[in-house]
Structure 1
Amino acid sequence: MNRPLLWMLGSIVVLGLLITTMAGVNFSSQTTSTDGQPPIVLYCAASNRAVMEAIRERYEDEYAREIQIQYGPSQTLLSSVDVSGAGDLFLPADDSYLKLAQQKGLIREILPIADMQVVVAVRRQDAENIQSLDDILSDSVKLVQASPETAAVGKLVQQTLQQSGQWDDVSAATVAYRATVTEVASDIVVGAADAGFVYDAVLHTYPDLVAVELPELKPAVSRVAVGVIDQSKQPTAALHFARYVSAKDRGLIQYDQQGFQTAGHDVWADVPELSVFAGSMLRPAIEDTIAAFEEREGVTVNRVYNGCGILVAQMQAGQHPDAYFACDQEFMNQVHDLFPQPVQVSQNELVILVQKGNPHNIASLKDLAREGLRVGIGHEKQCAMGWITQNTFREGGVQEEIMPNVTVQTPTGDMLVNQLQTGSLDAAVAYLSNAAGAGEFLDAIQITGIECSTAVQPWAVNKESSHPETASRLFQKICSTESQEIFAAEGFRWRLESDEIR
C-alpha cells in the first residue's frame, strides 16, 4: 500500500473517532448520575484505558459519582475539547498536548501523574530475532506505528528519531499507521505486524508481547498528566477526581501495578488541608487568592500570618507547615532544612511613614534622630522588617542616633500604621506595602542609597509535605496574572520569571 493512501486512510479513521467522541460528549451532557449529580466527563488517551478503568471502578464505589470516559488518540481528544467546549478533564498520553491546550486557553490546572517509556513491542517468540533498530528495519519485519498526526506515541517517536537522523528510514519501513497505540499492539498480537512502537505500560495488558528497549528511543519518555478543562461546569468535582487519580495511595497504586513510572505526589484526602505560614505583610497580597483557591479546589488552607521571626521560632519548635511565604530570604534561610528549594517571588522596600502632609518635615533617616520624635520600627527578632530595619540603620550610619527615639518595636507593620493613625507615633520605618490603603492618612518617604532596605519574599514547599502538588497549584494561583495585579496594588514589585513557576 502506498504512503499517500496510508495517510488518507489514517485521516478517515481520525475523522470517525472525532465524530464518535463528539457524539459521546453530547450524550454525557444530558445524563446524570444515580444521585442526581452530573457525571464527570474525562477525555482519556487510549494508552491509559486499562489503568483508568480500574481507577474509575474504585472511585465510583467509594464516592458514588459516575465517571464517563471518552477514549481515543490524544490529538483527536484535544480537537474534541476545543470544538465542543464540553467536558471536565483531559488526560492525553503526553503532557505536550496539555501545554498546547493551555496555550489555547482550554485548560486550567494540570496534575502530574506518571511517565511512560517508548519501546518496541514484539511477540514473545520473536524477541530473540528483533533486538535492534537494524533488525526492525529488515525487509522481513512488518513494522507498524501510531500516527504522528493523532497519537502521542507516534509524535514522540517521530520527534526523537528526527533528532537522531533516523526517522526517514523508519518511516520508509513502516507498513501501516494506526490511530492509537493499542491498535498497534493488537496488530502485533494477531500477526498483522511483527513490531511496533508502543509505551511500556501498554504491554501490561498484552501478556503475549514483550518490550525491546532501544538506545535510540531512550529520550522518548511521555509525561502523563491530567488537566481541568477551563469550561468545566463542575471544576471542584473534576479536581476531586483528578486528585484521586494522582494520589499516591489511590490512583497511582493502579499506575504502579500496570507498569507506569510514578514518583512523589500527594497523599489522598477527601478534603485536603494545607498549612501555610506567611509573613504578616503578605496577607493583603495573598488572602483573597487563597480564599478563591479553597473554593475552587474544595480544600482547606490553614494560614498563619505573623512576624517571620515568630514563624521561624514556631517551625524550629516543631510546627512544620506545607508551605512558607517569608518576608525576606534571611528568614527562609533559617529553616533551609525544611524548605531547600525556595523561589524569590516579589520584593518590598522599606520607607519612612509619616502622617499626611509630613508635619515634622522628615526627609531622610537622619531626620528620625531629631530630639523628641516618637519613632516606631519592627522588632528585630520577631520579624523580617525589624531585622532589615536594623541593617539599614547600620549601613546608613544612623543606628546609634535613631534608637533612643524608638518608642515602639512591633512584630508587624500594620501595628505601626495603626499607631501612626492614632497619633501615638510621629514616624515609622515599615514596608511600602504597609501604607497601601492608607494613602489618605499617611505619606511614604523613600529611603535612598541603601541597598539592604529592600526585602525579597521567597516561597517554598516543605520537603516533607503530604500535599506537595496541591501546594504547588496554590503557588501557581498566587503567580497568576490576577494575583500579580494584587501584589502591585499592595506596593510589591513582582520579580519571579514565568519559567521559575512550579
Structure 2
Amino acid sequence: MAGAADLFLPADDSFLRMARESGLVAEVLPIATMRCGLVVRRGNPLGIRSVADLLRDGIRLVQANPDAAAVGKVSRQVLTKQGIWDAVNAATDGFRTTVNDVANDVEVGAADAGIVYDVVLYGRPELEFVDVVELEGATSQVSMGVTTACSQPAAALHFARYVSAEDRGLEEYRRQGFVVARGDLWADIPELSVYAGSMLRPAIEDTITAFEQREGVRVSRSYNGCGILVAQMKSGQHPDAYFACDVEFMKQVGDLFGPATDVSQNELVILVPKGNPRRIAGLQDLTQAGLRVGIGHEKQCAMGWITQRTFAESGLTTKIMENVTVQTPTGDMLVNQLRTGSLDAAVAYLSNAAGSAEFLDAVQIQGLQCSVATQPWAVLRQSRYPRLADRLFQRIRSAESQEIFAAEGFRWQLSESPAKP
C-alpha cells in the first residue's frame, strides 16, 4: 500500500485478489499450488493421523496466525465449514507469525504437531507430513503479482515470466515439492503470434501496442479475412491465439485451440453514400436496376459468408447477386470503393463505417438474426506462451478495451465484469 514494491508473491492468491480489488496489483502470473496438512516428528511417534487426534490430551499444537499467514487463513476456512474450527482453535497452544515458525517449533521439540503447507518440509529430514481428510480441500494457489505502483513494469514482468517459466523457475518449484501447472517456455523477448479478422483491427490494435510496451514483448499480428486465415491454419501455420470474425470460422479450426470465449458482436448493415441518394431502406432495394453493390467474398471472410446466409434467408440471393460488381476479403475495401464512387451500396459490418460517418450512412437490415456475427477468442493448445496469451486477453477484455470496441461499432458480449487493471 505504500507503493514501495514492484512484485508481490504471497503464499495464497486470496491476498492477490485483495490487492487487485484495492487497485494495488495489475498482472498476476500463476506459479504453483500447495496443500495443507499436519507436521509431526519423523516416524510420527504420537500416532497423529487426523485433526481429531490433535484434540487429545497432552498434544501440543501450534498454528500460524490465521489473520496474518496464508496457511492459517486457508485451514481456518476449511475447518470452519466442517464445524470443527472452534475445537481446534481451543486446543491450540500458540499461534506463530509464519508457517516456517510452526515447522521450527515441531523440529526443535517445542510442539508435537502443527498445521503447515507440504512444501515447508523440503530440506527438513527430521519432520514428516501427514495428509488428513479434514484438510483435503485446503490448498493455496501461489502466484506473482506486478504492482500498479511499479515504475519498471517491463523489467518486473521479465522477472515474473522467468520465475513462472516452464523450463526456468517452475523447475525449481517442482524440485521443492510444489505442484505446478503448465507454464510458458522461457524467451528473453517472446514473440506472440495472433491471427485476427481484419474487422477487429481498429478495436484491438492500440490495446496490443500498449500490451507490448508494458510487457516488453513482441506481438506478431496477422489481420485478414477469416476464410484466408483459416486456410493458412489448415496448411500448418498455427498462431498462439485466434480472434475470429465469427464463431463459424473458429469451429473450422476448433481442434487446434482451447475453449473459445465470445467477446463481441458486429452487425451486418447496408452502407451507402452520405444522404442515401438511391433511397435504400433494406435488402429489397439492392435489387434496383443498375445499382452497383459490393459484398464480402463468401470463401475469404466471415462477412461474405454471413452476407450470403442473410441473402438466402431474405429470399433475394439471385436478384441481389445480379447487381454485385465486387466481392472483397475485407470490409475496408468496400468502404474505400464507396468513398471513391465505385459502388452505390455495400453490405458490410457496422464497425466498417466507424470513422467514415461524414461520408457514409448505415442502413440496418431488419428482422434477420443471421445478420449478426459473434467474435470469439481462443488460445492454441500447443502454444509456447499460453500464459502470455491469457494476459493479452485480459487486456482485450478490460474496461478500457471495451470502450474502444463500443466506439468502433461492436456490441460487448462478455457477461462478467472485466478484471480491474
Q: In which range does the TM-score fall when normalised by the shorter chain?
A: over 0.9
Secondary structure of the residue aligned to 1:175 is strand
Q: Could you tell me which residue of structure 1 aligns to residue 233 of structure 2?
A: 315
Change (3 A) 1:399 1:475: same
| Number of the residue aligned with 1:428 | 346
- Counterpart among 188, 192, 198 of residue 274 in structure 1: 192
2:76 corresponds in structure 1 to 158
Q: Residues of 2 paired with 1:119 and 1:272: CA distance? A: 39
| C-alpha RMSD of the superposition | 1.1
**What is the count of residue pairs matched by the alignment?**
420
- Indicate if the aligned counterparts of 2:398 and 2:419 stay in contact, CA closer than 8 A: no
Change (3 A) 1:127 1:258: farther
Q: CA deviation at 1:364?
A: 0.4
Q: What 5-or-longer segments of structure 1 have no aligned partner?
A: 1-81
Q: What TM-score, normalized by structure 1, do the two folds share? A: 0.83
Partner of 1:123: 41
Q: Name the structure 2 match of 1:325.
A: 243
Q: In the alignment, which residue of structure 2 is the partner of 1:251?
A: 169
Give 1:132 shift: 1.6
- Partners of 2:46 and 2:252 lie apart in 1 by 58
Partners of 2:39 and 2:214 lie apart in 1 by: 42
Q: State how far apart, in whole Å, the 2-side matches of 1:263 and 1:104 are.
A: 27
Query: Conserved in 2, the CA contact under 8 Å of 1:121 and 1:198?
Result: yes
Task: For 1:230 and 1:444, locate their aligned partners in 2 and report how far apart those are by CA, in whole Å.
Answer: 41
Q: Report deviation, 1:134.
A: 2.1
Conserved? CA contact 1:308–1:327, under 8 Å: yes
Q: Is the 8 A contact 1:127 1:212 kept in 2?
A: no
SS state of the match for residue 327, structure 1? coil
Q: Indicate if the aligned counterparts of 2:50 and 2:134 stay in contact, CA closer than 8 A.
A: no
Q: 1:459 aligns with which of 377, 382, 386?
A: 377
Instruction: Name the residue aligned to 1:37.
Output: none
Answer whether contact 1:343 1:500 (CA < 8 A) is retained.
Answer: no
Q: Which residue of 2 aligns with 1:367?
A: 285
Distance (Å, rounded) in 1 between the aligned partners of 2:418 and 2:384: 22
- Provide the rounded CA distance (Å) in 2 between the counterparts of 1:167 and 1:448: 62
SS at match of 1:125: coil
How many angstroms apart in 2 are the aligned matches of 1:241 and 1:462? 24
Residue 29 of structure 2 corresponds to 111
Q: Deviation digits for residues 266-322 of structure 1, max 9, x if unmatched?
A: 001100110000000000000000000000000000000000000000000000000
Deviation at 1:501, TM superposition (A): 7.6
1:486 and 2:404 correspond: yes
Does the CA contact (< 8 Å) of 2:398 and 2:418 recur in 1?
A: no
Q: 1:473 to 1:350 in 2, by over 3 A?
A: same
Summarize deviations over 1:344-390 as a string: whole Å, max 9, x none: 00000000000000010000000001110000000000000000000
Task: Please give the alpha-carbon distance, in whole angstroms, between the structure 2 residues aligned to 1:490 and 1:317.
Answer: 32
- Percentage of matched positions with identical amino acids: 65
Q: 5+ residue gaps in structure 2?
A: none
Pick the aligned partner of 2:317 from 385, 391, 399.
Answer: 399
Which digits, 9 at most, give the CA deviation of each residue in 1:405-425, with x for residues without a partner? 000000000000000000000
Q: CA deviation at 1:125?
A: 3.3
Alignment partner of 1:357 is 2:275: yes
State the Cα distance separating 1:499 from its structure 2 match: 6.4
**Contact conserved, 2:31 with 2:142, CA < 8 A, in 1?**
yes
Q: Please tell me whether residue 292 in structure 1 is matched to residue 210 in structure 2.
A: yes
Secondary structure of 1:337 counterpart: helix
Does the residue aligned with 1:126 lie in a helix, a strand or coil? coil
Aligned AA (1:197): I
- Alignment partners' CA distance in 2, 1:498 and 1:127: 52
TM-score, with normalisation over the residues of structure 2?
A: 0.98
Distance (Å, rounded) in 2 between the aligned partners of 1:281 and 1:379: 14
SS at match of 2:52: helix
**Which residue number in structure 2 is paired with residue 12 of structure 1?**
none
User: Which letter does structure 2 place at the counterpart of 1:258?
Assistant: Q
CA distance in 1, matches of 2:216, 2:167: 19
Partner residue of 2:152? 234
Contact 2:294 2:347 (C-alpha < 8 Å) held by counterparts: yes
Q: Does 1:224 align with 2:146?
A: no
Deviations 1:116-173 (A, max 9, x none): 0001000003356111222221112100000011000000010000001110110011
1:135 aligns with 2:36: no
CA deviation map 1:92-112 (0-9, x unaligned): 000010001000000000000
